[in-house]
Amino acid sequence: MRRYSKVIGTGAYLPEEIRTNDHISQTVDTSDSWIFERTGIKSRRIAGPDESAASMAEIAARQALAAAECDPNTIDLIIVATGTPDRVYPSTGCLLQQRLGIKNTVAFDVQAACSGSIFALSIADQYIQSGAAKTVLIVGSELCSRIVDWTDRATCILFGDGAGAVLLSASDEAGILSTHICSDGEYEDLLYCPNPQAATEPNKDETGFIRMRGNEVFKIAVNTLGQIVDETLAANNMDKSEIDWLVPHQANIRIIAATAKKLRMSMDQVVVTLENQGNTSSASVLIAFNEAVRDGRIQRGQVVLLEAFGAGFTWGSALIKY
C-alpha cells in the first residue's frame, strides 16, 4: 500500500502594519491605479522591527500544530523555506526548532525563492513516502520588505511579509498525489538578490536589494507555469476538470489568471490573496492554502493544485487530495 503525506494542519501569520499603494506613491513615482491594474495588489503587510523570519514562522507553525492537535515532539523533520533568514546560519529551521522546544529532530532551510514552499513539500513527501519521516512541519517565512529597495518603483510595489505553515503526517489515505519541481540557473540575472558580503568582485552589488527584469520574468513565468500544470495532470492521468482548487504563488493577478485559463478554471476556484498581501515569496502559497482551508472553501477530499515560480528560475507544483 502506498504511504501518503496527508495535510493534518495549516497556519499563517501576517504582520500588523498595512502599507497601501497610496502610501508607496508618496515616495516613488507610481499610483494606486497603475499598481492595481498591472499586478492586482492594493496593499501589503510589513513586519515590525522586532519581527523576523523565525518569529513569524513560530506563530504560523503553532497554529498548524494546534489545528492538528499535534505534540511538537512528534515532529521528525522541520523544513523552512526562506530567502530572508534571521542568520546565514544556524538555519531558520534550527531557530524554529528551538522556539518550539523540540529536541531530537532534523531541521534545515530550503532556498528556492518564491518556489521554496513547493520545494519543501516535495522534499517532505519524499521523506514520508520512503518511511524516513512520519510527521513533517513545513513553513515558508519571508521578510521581503527588508530586501526591497523602497526607491525602486519596479520592485517595491510587489512584495510583502508573512509566514505560512503546513503539517504533514504519514497516512494510508490519499494526501499529496505528486510533486514536480525544477530549476534553471541560466536565468540568474533576470531576478536576484545579491549577498554583498559573499559576492565575487565582478558581481559586487553593495545594496543587497532585489533586482528584477519584471517583464521578461513575467513572460517566462506564464509559459513555465502552463507547462508544469500539463506535466502534473499527465503524471496523475487526470483531466483539468478534476481539480477543485488552484492555489497559485501570489506574484501577479495576470500570471494567476493565465494559469487558471489554461486549466479552464473559473477565478472562483482560484485562491487569491495578493490584493491585500502582495507577493510574500516562499510564504505565499502556504498562506493562501491556509486561508482557504480555514474559511471552508477547501474541503476534505477535494483536489488542490499548488504551484509557484521564482528566482533561479525555480518552479514547481504539488497536487494534493486534501
Is residue 281 near ligand ACO by the rule CB under 6 A? yes
Query: CA end-to-end span of the chain, whole Å?
Result: 19
> Would you name the residues annotated as active-site residues?
114, 249, 279
Interface with ligand ACO (CB under 6 A), residue from 19, 146, 153, 321: 153
Residue 58 phi, psi dihedral angles, 5° rounding = -60, -45
Q: How many CB atoms lie within 10 A of CB 180?
A: 18
| Binders of ligand ACO in range 195-234 (CB under 6 A) | 214-215, 217-218, 221
Place of cell 507544483: 317
Q: Is 100 in the site for ligand ACO (CB under 6 A)?
A: no
Report which DSSP code applies to 52: -
Is 39 a binding residue for ligand ACO by CB under 6 A? The answer is: yes
Site for ligand ACO contains 285 (CB under 6 A): no
Nearer to ligand ACO among residue 167 and residue 255 (C-beta): 255
Interface map 235-254 toward ligand ACO (x if CB under 6 A): ----------------xx--
119 Cβ neighbours under 8 A, 6+ residues apart:
81, 110, 112, 181, 314, 316
**Set of cell numbers at residue 148:** 526591497
Residues 102 to 131: which contact ligand ACO by CB under 6 A? 113-114
Nearer to ligand ACO, 214 or 226 (CB): 214
**SS3 per residue for 267-320:** HHHECCCHHHHCECHHHHHHHHHHHHHHCCCCCCCCEEEEEEEECCCEEEEEEE
Query: With binding defined as CB under 6 A, does residue 38 bind ligand ACO?
Result: yes
Taking the complex as a whole, how short is the minimal distance between the CB of residue 188 and ligand ACO, in angstroms?
Answer: 12
Q: Which stretch binds ligand ACO (CB under 6 A): 131-139, 269-277, 289-297, 306-314?
A: 306-314
82 near ligand ACO (CB under 6 A) = no
Element (H, E) at 187: none
By CB under 6 A, is residue 57 in contact with ligand ACO?
A: no
| DSSP, res 188 | T
The CB-of-296 to ligand ACO minimum distance in angstroms stands at 29
Closer residue to ligand ACO in complex, CB, 289/309: 309
Who's near 49: CB < 8 A, 6+ residues apart? Answer: none
Q: Computed from CA positions of residues 80, 85, 90, 96, in that sequence, does the dihedral angle turn out positive or negative?
A: negative
Q: Which three cell numbers mark 104? A: 531530537
Residues near ligand ACO (CB under 6 A) are 30, 34-35, 38-39, 113-114, 153-154, 157, 191, 214-215, 217-218, 221, 251-252, 255, 279, 281, 309-311
